[in-house]
Amino acid sequence: MIAQAKFDEANTYINQISDDSQRINALIYLANAIYQKDPPENQKWAERVLDQARALLPDNPETQNDLNAATALATAFAQFDAKESFRLLELMLPMLNELVQANFVLMKFRNYGGFRHGEIQIGGNNLGIYNLDRTLRALRNRDFDRALQLTNGFNRPEIRIWLQIQLIDENSPGTLNLPVISRQFIRSGG
């Protein structure tokens, strides 16, 4: 139905899905399809669909599916309403810090790596924060200072650094103007 631009019918069908996580993802997909059909004309309609998805989220995500859905929703809102996207992420920040700390403690006892010299090794997705880097990249061009402020809300320095690295893209105008050559910093001056 979405491919045929039968958005109202698709919305009715989506709202019959019993699993909230699947329904949220389907509503996000629908909102993006509505918006892509005619961005200036359909932006408000797409935002209303995202509001439907937001209403399905618990105030505090209780499961990994809830967390993934909340992060996906924050990413979807980034193109329409950056303030709402930031609000969703900021509400999750205390819980994300708990999750990161819990992963840190567990990583010390796991045999498959990810922990060295008292620090989490940066890389992969061993931090327990799924798609947050993608969400921050979507928000950096809307409000770089607030995105940076959000990264500074993380307690673990490894997480702050990893997320701040995600904000920097030497090929993207409007980000930091760093002396970069092929992903290596060069010395400037004497």
pLDDT tens per residue, range 156-178 = 888 888 888 888 864 444 334 44
pLDDT tens for 16-47 read 999 888 999 999 999 999 998 988 899 999 99
Residue 55 has pLDDT above 80, yes or no: yes
pLDDT for res 26: 93
Q: Is the pLDDT of residue 103 over 60?
A: yes
pLDDT of residue 186: 44
User: Angle, nearest 10°, between helix axes 132-140 and 144-151?
Assistant: 150
DSSP label at 164?
H
Contacts of residue 69, defined as CB under 8 A and 6 or more positions apart, other chains included, come to 20, 21, 24, 25, 53, 56, 57, 61
- Tokens, residue 114: 């990810």
Angle at 57 between CA 91 and CA 26, to 5 degrees: 125
What is the end-to-end Cα distance of the chain in Å, rounded? Answer: 63
Report the alpha-carbon distance of residue 168 to residue 165 in Å, rounded: 5
What residues does each domain of the chain span? 82-176
The per-residue pLDDT for range 127-141, each reduced to its tens digit, is: 566 678 888 888 998
Mean pLDDT within 65-79: 88
